[in-house]
Amino acid sequence: MAVYTEVTDEALRAFLSDYALGELLAFRGIAEGVENSNYALKTEAGDFILTLYEKRVDRMELPYFLGLMEHMAVHGLACPTPVPARDGAALRELCGRPAAIVTFLPGVWPRRVRPEHCAPLGEALARMHRAGEGFPIQRPNALGPAGWAPLLDGCRARGDEVQPGLIAELDAALTGILAAWPAPDTLPRGHIHADLFPDNVFFLPDQDGKPRVSGLIDFYFACTDLYAYDVAICLNAWCFESDYSFNVTKARALLSAYESVRPMAQAERAALPVLGRGAALRFLLTRLYDWTHTPDGALVTRKDPLEYLRKLRFFVQAESPGALGL
């Protein structure tokens, strides 16, 4: 559940009185999103999303996230746009937490990814990369390669309870990934989403009934990193079937549409297998960390870390970019 903070109506009305959004008409908690409290807000001015940033988000980083969304929206990307209050500030405080109102985006995220979703996704990802150009704040990727060894250390004590031999396999994988990781400044970098899973991409049908992207959301893992790493995350998140087989048709559609907007350099294409390995390891490690640090018997849904072990193994054996659909 994604509502951690209950907002009283008095506090909400006081908060909204700083905005020029007219009267409050409705306010409902949203079940999606896991890090923050999200509410669907309806006022006389329309539909919005109100987010309260909970403790896993560092408030020092909020200007980066909100500024990036604003910059990308101004540059034509369909993404949530922070709504400033009357004094011009979009980042405010509600119930003792940083809070912001962003625009509501139409669309539905795909519960089951079909090949037809992958070309519009790839195109939207490239457009996002283009739209972020020129945004001046940098944010290092805390969950990038330098963060993986500490994360793995945090899983060491109990990781093999999930699967015998898991930690040794991950140690070996990490060593291989770090050895093959592209050297700094050898690949194009910029602002990446870093978490563009299907629940962060809204679609609506076009006039022919084909899915088109109506918006990208949840920029709270965004950071400054390799564009091709963002592509590799999407290969992980969008191109495997439920039996963990890699669907090269989806990958081809994604990559080819991506390159129709932002052609990749030869070095980026060559790096995709190791970037895919790294992306699989990154999601495996955060899931494994959560898995081994959640009390036994808890009824919360813990995402299965072994899903990403299967994906990691795929990328380990996929030695050439051709195996990924390039």
Note the residues at the interface with a second copy (CB under 8 A): 1-3, 6-10, 12, 23-32, 40, 42, 47, 104-108, 110-112, 202-205, 294-300
Q: Which is nearer to a second copy, 10 or 208 (CB)?
A: 10
CB 104 within 8 A of CB 46: yes
222 contacts: CB under 8 Å, gap ≥ 6: 64, 65, 68, 139, 191, 192, 193, 194, 195
Closest approach, Cβ 250 to a second copy, in A, equals: 16
User: The tokens 């509410």 sit on which residue?
Assistant: 39
Q: Which is nearer to a second copy, 4 or 143 (CB)?
A: 4
Closest approach, Cβ 180 to a second copy, in A, equals: 36
Closest approach, Cβ 29 to a second copy, in A, equals: 3
Q: Which is nearer to a second copy, 203 or 227 (CB)?
A: 203
What is the Cα–Cα distance from 243 to 277, expressed in whole angstroms? 18
Q: Which is nearer to a second copy, 265 or 303 (CB)?
A: 303
Closest approach, Cβ 33 to a second copy, in A, equals: 10
Query: What are the structure tokens assigned to 81, written together?
Result: 């746009």
Query: CA gyration radius for the chain?
Result: 20
Q: Which is nearer to a second copy, 29 or 115 (CB)?
A: 29
CA dihedral sign, ordered 145, 151, 155, 157 = positive
Q: Which amino acid is at 224?
A: T
Question: C-alpha angle with apex 196: 52 to 301, nearest 5 degrees?
Answer: 65
Closest approach, Cβ 25 to a second copy, in A, equals: 5
